[in-house]
Amino acid sequence: MARLGDLERSVMDVLWSADDWLTARDVAARLDHERDLAYTTVLTVLERLERKGFVRRQRAARAHRYAATDSRETVVAEAMLEALGTADDRGSALVRFVGSVSAEEAEILRRALEPAGVDATDPQATDPQVIGLHSTGGHTDEASAPGTDASVTAAPPATAAHGGSAAAAADDSTGAPGDDPATAP
């Protein structure tokens, strides 16, 4: 996954907070940046983000409209997985990460790793073989964790827009988050 520069991150923040597609002028007007940016600068950043797979573009009359390809949470989860993939000892990196999170974040992680309806105080309930953890770096098989809360589950593998084929990413270039491509203007 490509990294975001400061200006790209600012543009993505605007797109992530939007409920609908935005034109480059809309993005420029909503940008909270230390200096005023020219419309053409924002347009260039949007085009770069589209090439990197973070943004989708749609023709609307004479202007183009833009929307984020994935949610902020998906992009952050992909970045975390990518960073974890660079560690020589993934287990040690995970232990250090878990040791640095707040108690509230640790509880969210605990709930995400715990299958629904399991008593975490039961030693057998946390046995990786019993709960369906396989030797795939700690990812659970979806069938082994029914009813897991989607807001705290691990992110899916990288989407086509962030690491798959360009053809697959191009196929998904017309819909906005939550929009039906068939009804998009």
Is the pLDDT confidence value at 164 over 80? no
Quick one: pLDDT at residue 36?
80
- The whole-number average pLDDT for the span 19-40 is 87
Can you give the pLDDT at residue 61?
83
Asked whether the predicted pLDDT for residue 163 surpasses 70, the reply is: no
Predicted confidence (pLDDT) at residue 183 exceeds the cutoff of 80? no
Mean pLDDT score, 101-115: 90
Q: In whole angstroms, what is the distance from residue 99 CA to residue 106 CA?
A: 9
Mean pLDDT, residues 104-124 taken together:
78
Question: Mean pLDDT across the chain, nearest whole number?
Answer: 73
pLDDT recorded at residue 65: 95
pTM above 0.75, yes or no: no
Domains and their CATH numbers in the chain: 6-70+163-171 (1.10.10.10), 72-152 (no CATH)
Spatial CA neighbour of 37 closest among 4, 63, 11, 72:
11
Helices (H), 18-102: 24-30, 39-52, 72-85, 90-100
Burial 20-59 (b: 16+ CB within 10 A, else e): ebbbbebbbebbeeeeebeeebbbebbebbbebbbbbbbe
pLDDT for 63 equals 85
Q: What's the rounded mean pLDDT across residues 69-88?
A: 92
pLDDT per residue over 115-160, tens digit each? 766 666 666 655 555 545 443 444 433 333 333 333 333 333 334 3
pLDDT in tens, 2-14: 688 899 999 999 9
